[in-house]
Structure 1
Amino acid sequence: MKKLSTLILASVIGGAFTLGFYKIALETPQETTSKEATMPTYIPATYTANKPIATAAIEGIDFTNAAEKTVNSVVHVKNRATSEGGSSIYDFFYGRSSKPRVREGSGSGVIISPDGYVITNNHVIEGADELEVTLNNNKSYPATLIGSDPKTDIAVLKIEADTDLQFIAFGDSDNVRVGEWVLAVGNPFNLTSTVTAGIISAKARDLNEFDQQNQSFLQTDAAVNPGNSGGALVNTNGDLIGINTAITSQTGSFVGYSFAVPSNIAKKVVDDLLEYGDVQKGVLGITTLNRNSKEAIEKGLDQVDGVYVSGVEKDSGADKGGLQSGDVIKKIDRVRIRKFADLTGYLNSKRPNETLNVLVDRNGSRKELKVTLSKFDIFEVDFLGMKLRNISAENKEKYEISNGVGVYELKAGSIINNSTDVRPGYILTEINGIKIKSISDIAKLKKKNIQDDLEKITFLNGKLEAERYIFRD
């Protein structure tokens, strides 16, 4: 037993000696490395030494001021539309009448004047029988539709409040810079007074670039969801720089990108609706080559930095100002033009008869031209789902046509598209026996609401043969 105790004691002493030697001989000279997992700290390439690294990048940016200035000026827009209720076979047998159904929708809006003018999206109020605006203090008012423009998706409402309202001033969206901080304010999912932050991700974004639908949006990564439509996009000063309009998503909810109508375009539409009742569109009077078209690719023009002018309308502002086919527009006033959406985005903020400084590249040399915008309906007008344009004097003489306007596009589902054989390339010559010489004649008839008393339209087909269509109630 004594021998066993001695043996155990010797083993313990030997083990301790061995462990101590291992710690001293093998571990002591090496650096100690912590096994605790930590996130790396990234330091900006340029920073102020005596300031906390976490806040150096956003020093001087105060989101709270912008939020406080805007949250009470963004409203909840509710629309109601009544439709006939569906009927079933049971209604027929039991003599029951179907009840009207009330559809409700909602979005956002922005108060832009103390006397109650509100800007929102056209799609927020489209088809509504009743409109209601609820302020951030939960007071609700019936709203009147002043006017709307489906092409820019902008609408103007009016409410009659008891006192002057807090409003947001328009900022200059042309001065917005990519990377600039912005706030989106609105009512997503009926959650009132919601503020999200992000940056401007891109400017002059065209969501239908291949169709050239004259869209030019500000793109941001500030979270925008259903219900935000019509709400405010503001900078850190609280200035209105855009009207939140759309998101790109496969789920219907925000996934990182949203789009806003630039404030310069929105303000111009509002001013036109209040002053004229419709949008006054100014055009240069040129045709352009879509950089994605086969012709552009074959000619090597798909990589052009600017907008390629493929044609100039006779007697247009572009024609009188000296623009020529083959010119590449590089800049208008102070705005750089790199693609079609840059051009249309700037022009959509201008009116007819405004004069612009247009910088073009012509055969490798730069020329600055002064161009006065023409009125849009000098060149094109929409009527009964048709887009109509004037026919040049040369073509009238060539085809021995005394009067008429050309059909160059038909809207799907329109009465002309569904009820006739008319196709792009046809020539509209008479309406209710009235000869049509130019699209200004169409514009005059539209003002008289002739589409409500439509009796007969005459066209020339591709073989220049007359086709008459009679419309009856």
Structure 2
Amino acid sequence: MDTPKYAHYQVHQPQAGNYAGGSIPPKKPRKTRTSNGNGNGGFGRKAATAVSLAVIFGLVAGVVFQGVNMAADKLGVNSNSSSTQVEKTQTLTETEDSTDSSSSDSAVKNIVAESGTVAGVAQATMSSIVAITSVSVQEIPSFFGYGTRQYQSAGSGSGIIVGENDDELLIATNNHVVSGATTLTVCFAGSDVVGAEEETQAMASSSDSSFSGNTGSEGDADVENAVSAKIKGTDEENDLAVIAVEKSDIPEETMKEIKIAQLGSSDDLVVGEQVVAIGNALGYGQSVTSGWVSALNRDISTEDSEASGLIQTDAAINPGNSGGALLNMKGEVIGINAAKYADSQVEGMGYAIPISKAEPILEELMNRETRDKVEDSSKVGYMGIKAADLTTEAIQMYNMPAGAFLTEVTEGGAADKAGIKKGDIIVKLDGQKVSGKDDLVSKLQYYESGETIEVVIARADSGEYKEQTVEVTLGSKPASDN
């Protein structure tokens, strides 16, 4: 029997394609003036007209002033606030009662009000889904077999706007979409994302990596509304991540359109329930597919990880859909698309992380401080340890927790001074779960020498591993190790 081939669905190097952006709503018809037909002239008529105009002016001014205040309250704008608040998407049951036939967008709202339709779900939620482009550095063996050489690799994935703070818009995605990324960009709904990979690669290659707004480097496509993003926090074990975009980098027109997704509950899902998947399929921009929940609580193994308790769906999940939303027919997010069964003989077996499992993890990641990777390698925090990955067999046989197993602790180093010993397992670094050696090294790249952070270790005690928290003041990497 062949081993099942499960694959994450982040797409690399997509071919060029066409993607249609948003539409321009029709203009409201201009109202025509009517006259009373009275031809009488004279001073009395002029005086009456002047008085009438004064009264009308006062009424109009009052109405406009009140209207501005109401609009400001509705949009969450406070004259004393320095940040713009983003609205949430509405569930279809909420939108059904809010249809305004006088609005120029009434046609769209009428579609949204059709509870239970795929078109309604798409219209209600599209503004909360984003396209993510990442650039990472890969190593391959040299042509002659001696050593390795590095090259930049661009990939595309998806994300869901799940929150905000005063300065940032917060986006949930899969860890494998952003893992190892040196540069990240985000395109919002209605943007043309074709050329985003080339643009992001140009940013990564440039000595000046700052980027915001609508920019195009020479020879590269202009990517409308693409903005730079930073990793806020990751959970490799559960394949989840949160990235942050500075609100000040997002064009004003885009800020008016985007919304925060409504999170539902995956606990009440039943097999056979209809669902909708939205994501950046093939890196072309947002696309919509629909299907059914075909199974619950599925366990799978990919090339580099294992996952359990997943939602299985036959809604098409394609390369680039990773990190996108699986939605119920109310327009609520009930899963984060992560993988599919990849085989030429198999169709319609995609998998999503249940939102009820993901939500508390995302909440913790959203509350973390957004950090920049330390560019100067001589300033990167150093613990003075050597670590190894634990095998699945060892974890199960000895009831060991997942983490970075320490094979050596340098005497007098930062870890040694904090009381960490050989044989300990680092399970958390500054509140973040550590899944293994590479994950620990990756996380340390965001901390400078001299910083004091909390490290959770598991230590064997009478055959049982018990956790304890220690404070480690990071040192500098010795010159001999460079």
If the TM-score is normalised by the length of the shorter chain, which range does it land in?
0.3 to 0.5
Tell which has more relative contact order, 1 or 2 (C-alpha 8 A, sep 6+). Answer: 2
TM-score, scaled to structure 2: 0.45
In our comparison, the structure showing a higher alpha carbon Rg is 1
